[in-house]
Amino acid sequence: MSTLFFVLAVVSAVVIQGIKKIKVDPPTIAVVTFKGKIIEIGKDSNGNPISKTKKGGWRWFFLYPIVFSYINIDVARKNSTEKEITPQKVRTPDGAELLVPIEVTWTPTEGKEIEYIKSKKEAGVWSILSGIIQQRLREWAMSTSEGPQNAKDLLRAGDEAVAVLVKAVAGSTLSQIPSDIPTPILLRYFRAQRPKPREDEKEITGEKWEKLDKYFKKNPKEKQKVKTAIEERQKAVNEIKSGNGKHQIDHLGITINRFNIGEIKALGKYAESLDLEVKEKNEKEAEEVEVNHSIKQIKKIETELKIPVGEAKEFFQTERSKTPKTIQEHKINLSPETREMVKEVLKEAIPAIFGKSGG
């Protein structure tokens, strides 16, 4: 009887020792190991090993942790912050400095757990991704062929920049463009609202895209193939910008879900020049508003008092204290009733514009 109790006690201890809870929040999977090595259950289409995994919940591992054990992998979406991917300072061909933030979201790829673990999981993946993105971003910003021609081009950068960077990070998952013409040029050429060609592209495009028009007119079948490929590329870019991307990076064991460029900021002297430009524009607009209001009020005085525009202007300027004249100093003979009428009109007109007391 004692032997039975002993056996039951040992079996119970083994069972209880092997029961482990795999987290479900955040969603987690366990990669099963045998004597410290990951258990492989087959190969994928590329010949890469597939690991044995267990989903979240209560799971049992025989003789844990000596014989069977596991490696936890958090499979929730990972969103970048400035800690993971530091905003990159870049310089455009015209010498301007700008700060470009990159926003990335990814998840570990099911069936690629071994590659993910080899990449040192989340911390290792962020380190590798950050290096790839920042290097490619610097190269693109300074490139006179595929990158922005100047700082203003970079500030307007959108789909083209995302397409270039995604191609650098997850190139194998994007459809190839069957053309020797640079992809950034084709992306702009096939837009519904086609922009003007850049100066450095006109050797290929012509002044108004006429060279490409002529080329594709002679090669209609190629045009259709290229257009289809560009539409697929644009669709892929739109999906990854909105968070619906499915671009696998097999050697890291992850899938890129979202890739975007944040708010680009000007730096140094270029930032100062932009501030000055905005200030001058605002001042000019304010002056135009003031002049237009003044003209309207002078015309109102001219119409209601039936006096020449020059005289109406003098009355208006006198009220604003822009000339040292008084009403009595004008070379106009007005009756006391008319003077009172002028004052009443100005009392309504001036405060509406300048917030001053009329009369």
- Give mean pLDDT, residues 275-304: 76
Tokens of 339: 């003077």
Weakest-pLDDT range from 13-22, 27-36, 191-200, 327-336: 327-336
DSSP labels, 228-294: HHHHHHHHHHHHHHHT---EEETTTTEEEEEEEE---EE-HHHHHHHHHHHHHHHHHHHHHHHHHHH
pLDDT of residue 359: 43
**294 vs 203, which has greater pLDDT?**
203
Q: How far apart are alpha carbons 59 and 25 in whole angstroms? A: 16
Helix and strand numbers, DSSP H then E, in the chain: 12, 15
- The answer to whether 107 touches 77, Cβ cutoff 8 Å, is yes
Q: Which of 332, 358, 346 is nearest to 298 (CA)?
A: 346
pLDDT tops 90 at residue 22: yes
For residue 88, which phi and psi values (nearest 5 degrees)?
A: -95, 125
Reported residue count of the chain is 359
pLDDT of residue 126: 95
- The CA angle 251-253-258, to the nearest 5 degrees, is 110
Q: How far apart are alpha carbons 69 and 20 in whole angstroms? A: 10
pTM of the model: 0.70
Q: How far apart are alpha carbons 283 and 300 in whole angstroms? A: 26
- Give mean pLDDT, residues 195-203: 84
Q: How far is CA 318 from the centre of its chain?
A: 54
Q: How far apart are alpha carbons 319 and 358 in whole angstroms? A: 7
Number of C-beta neighbours around residue 250 at 10 A: 17
What lies within 8 Å, CB to CB, of 169 at 6+ separation is 129, 132, 133, 136, 247, 249, 256, 259
Amino acid at the residue 131: G
Each residue of 116-146: pLDDT tens digit? 999 999 999 999 999 988 888 888 888 766 6
Each residue of 217-257: pLDDT tens digit? 999 999 999 999 999 888 888 898 899 988 888 889 999 99
- Give mean pLDDT, residues 185-198: 88
Sign, Cα dihedral of 279, 284, 290, 293: negative
Number of C-beta neighbours around residue 197 at 10 A: 21
pLDDT of residue 341: 63
